[in-house]
Amino acid sequence: MDPKNPGAVDEIIHLGDYWDVEKMEENKEKILKTNAEVGKLFKRAYKYLRAARPILEDIIEKNSEAMDFGKVNLETENLANEIFKDKPVSKKEGKDRHLFGSAYTPNGWIEHTDTLLSDLNKIYYIKGDFGAGKTTLLEKIYMDAIKRGLNVEVYHTPLIPEKIETVVIEEIGVGLTISKMFKDNNYKTVNLDKYIDKKVLEKYENDINEDKEIFEELINLAISNLSRAKKTHDLLEEYFIPNMNFGEIEKLKDRIIKRILKYEK
């Protein structure tokens, strides 16, 4: 992140002050070539991810056609009443913070939902296929929380950031998530799949299965290229590590820690 208020609030820590410029320049061509290769691999990975999104949206569109969203709305309203039964609307709204708790990485799909929800008393697992209305439900709950003066953390899905993966309402010890980490270990499961009209879905069965195969293949190709980009990027360490003054960096770290602890007083 670039500093918004450098000096007054924000501070730039430049580790480039601690490398041997002359020795780094000796490897200039190798560094440039490696960085260019890394850039190409990342671009390729992002193309696969961009291609995967419309395939997923096609699945969402077909499933949505078969959903009874009237019943989903009733389910959502009942859930909100259950969660907020002792919390009236507040004169002061709560705040919402939007983040990511999962990602497609060089090591595959990584998520930390278990850590995010580890200190909560009640975890609601929202079950449903793509397009079943999970985001609509989660958005309704977190907006209701804000109206009741509660602060909320909202975690979005990485491929379609408009979609919601997890909602944390720490003040009342409640979390809601679509993460399969909690399909068996939860306070309550809210199953939206039961509102799918299977007869409507039958005509799209082959299309959806085909879409899911293509989607999985595209994601795997993206991860494969992310992994190659990471391995190629790691080659840069051969040029940087021998030419860094880690003793001085350690001293810098100690000075920063002392400054941070000073604010505690």
Which amino acid type is present at position 133? G
pLDDT digits (tens, 9 = 90+) for 125-139: 999 999 999 999 999
Q: What is the mean pLDDT of residues 186-196?
A: 96
Task: Return the closest-CA partner of residue 124 out of 71, 68, 84, 89.
Answer: 84
Give the per-residue pLDDT at 9: 85
Least confident of 22-26, 79-83, 91-95, 206-210: 22-26
Give the per-residue pLDDT at 127: 97
Beta-bridged to residue 63, according to DSSP, are none
Q: What is the mean pLDDT of residues 67-94?
A: 95
Give the per-residue pLDDT at 265: 67
Q: pTM of the entire structure? A: 0.86
Q: What is the mean pLDDT of residues 152-175?
A: 97
Give the per-residue pLDDT at 109: 96
Q: What is the mean pLDDT of residues 63-68?
A: 95
Which two three-digit tokens encode residue 230? 């990471």
Give the per-residue pLDDT at 78: 96
Q: What is the mean pLDDT of residues 1-12?
A: 85
pLDDT digits (tens, 9 = 90+) for 107-125: 999 999 999 999 999 999 9
Give the per-residue pLDDT at 212: 96
Q: What is the mean pLDDT of residues 185-210?
A: 95
Q: Is the model's pLDDT at 48 over the cut of 90?
A: yes
Calculate Rg over the CA atoms of the chain: 24
Q: CB atoms < 10 A from the CB of 57, how many?
A: 15
Residue 252: is it exposed, middle or buried by C-beta count within 10 angstroms (0-12/13-18/19+)? middle
pLDDT digits (tens, 9 = 90+) for 210-263: 999 999 999 999 999 999 999 999 998 888 899 999 999 999 999 999 989 988
Q: Is the model's pLDDT at 7 over the cut of 90?
A: no
Q: Is the model's pLDDT at 169 over the cut of 80?
A: yes
| Mean pLDDT over each residue of the chain, to the nearest integer | 95
